Structure 1
Amino acid sequence: MMPPPIRATSTVSVTHRVYPSRIRELFAAGRIAHPTSTISGKEIRSGVLNLQNVTYLVRDIDHALRFFTDALGFVVRQDETFESGWRRVVVGPDGGGTGFVLALAVDDDAPVGRQAAGDVAFFLETDDFAGQHRRMVEAGVHFREDPRHEAYGTVAVFEDLYGMPWDLIEPPKR
């Protein structure tokens, strides 16, 4: 027997992000009343865009792969070498979100480590700042500053393997 459709008045606990493809599946299966429905009080739409991956320039794919997995705790989402010899490596946070396609810089003039012209380009969000900070320091990540508390959360700037600044940030509890 198929469960009844979820209506806007239903309460459903969702412990992970509901992606547009999953919303379409739920609608097609009759589990939600309309592609624009409400789950856990939040409106979901089937036409929502998500940034799946971004290209991240590197000098050495294996070295960068070790940094992202060992130092940042990312997972390997894809590591595939094609017949042409081209290797596609995608890493990202374990809990989902945007991934990084590690792209080998083809010349010395490529802006490796300078993609944001010296500004922070990436904001790594956590719900356990102290634990992540400690783990990253133990893994050899260089922090430019001690953690500080701002109105937008606890934050510290760290460097990737090429010296590009990132923020490690824990938003304030609500």
Structure 2
Amino acid sequence: MKIIVTSLFVQDQDKALKFYSETLGFVKKEDVPMGKFRWITLVSPDDQDGTELLLEPNEHPAAKEYQKKIVAEGIPATMFGVADIHKEYKQLLENGVKFTMEPTKMGEFTIAVFDDTCGNLIQIIQK
């Protein structure tokens, strides 16, 4: 068994697709109409057959409440691995990304947290 898709609730699928593809550099894999929404997945440009990130609409009241509460508590919705966190941090800042936590050493890891503009905090990590 392996993880093939992981979901991330987003407030606006079009805005999220633009942010995750144009700002973060992920590659759109699927974009299929499903009623009033779409099945939109992205993958890492370095692993296009790897785990897909599903941009899931947060239309359900429970999804909205969950998203709102974890952001209020400063909890990232998911985590992405990076090879050089300081380089990634600088590049994302230059692309207008707003960080809530600068790169911070935590034991053998360094983490940073940013706002995805779609209702989530996202953590990046360098092992």
- Partner in structure 1 of residue 53 of structure 2: 100
Q: Identify, as 1 or 2, the structure richer in helix.
A: 2
- Aligned-partner residue type, residue 150 of structure 1: M
1:71 pairs with one of 11, 16, 23: 23
* Secondary structure of the corresponding residue to residue 102 of structure 1: strand
- Partner in structure 1 of residue 108 of structure 2: 152
Q: Which runs of 5+ in 1 are unaligned?
A: 1-48
Indicate how the Cα distance of structure 1 residues 74 and 59 shifts in structure 2: closer, same or farther if over 3 A, else same. Answer: same
- Partner in structure 1 of residue 122 of structure 2: 166
Pairs aligned (count):
122
- Aligned-partner residue type, residue 98 of structure 1: T
Dislocated runs of 4+, deviation >6 Å:
none
Moved more, 110-119 or 54-63: 110-119
Moved more, 63-72 or 116-125: 116-125
**Structure 2 residue 111 is the aligned partner of structure 1 residue 111:** no
Q: Contact 1:154–1:170 (CA<8 Å) still a contact in 2?
A: yes
* Secondary structure of the corresponding residue to residue 63 of structure 2: coil
Indicate how the Cα distance of structure 1 residues 61 and 70 shifts in structure 2: closer, same or farther if over 3 A, else same. Answer: same
Q: Identify, as 1 or 2, the structure richer in strand.
A: 2
Indicate how the Cα distance of structure 1 residues 76 and 112 shifts in structure 2: closer, same or farther if over 3 A, else same. Answer: farther
In 2, the alpha carbon distance for the partners of 1:129 and 1:101 equals 24
Q: Bigger radius of gyration, 1 or 2?
A: 1
Cα deviations by residue, 1:45-74 (Å, 9 ceiling, x for unpaired)? xxxx21111222222211110110122211
Indicate how the Cα distance of structure 1 residues 112 and 88 shifts in structure 2: closer, same or farther if over 3 A, else same. Answer: farther
- Partner in structure 2 of residue 50 of structure 1: 2
In 2, the alpha carbon distance for the partners of 1:85 and 1:107 equals 13
Indicate how the Cα distance of structure 1 residues 136 and 81 shifts in structure 2: closer, same or farther if over 3 A, else same. Answer: same
Indicate how the Cα distance of structure 1 residues 141 and 124 shifts in structure 2: closer, same or farther if over 3 A, else same. Answer: same
Q: Contact 2:8–2:77 (CA<8 Å) still a contact in 1?
A: no
In 1, the alpha carbon distance for the partners of 2:37 and 2:101 equals 38
1:87 CA displacement: 2.4
Q: Which runs of 5+ in 2 are unaligned?
A: none
In 1, the alpha carbon distance for the partners of 2:45 and 2:39 equals 18
Cα deviations by residue, 1:56-110 (Å, 9 ceiling, x for unpaired)? 222221111011012221111112336x565221012222342221222335663
- TM-score normalised by structure 1 residue count: 0.59
| Coordinate RMSD, CA, aligned | 2.5
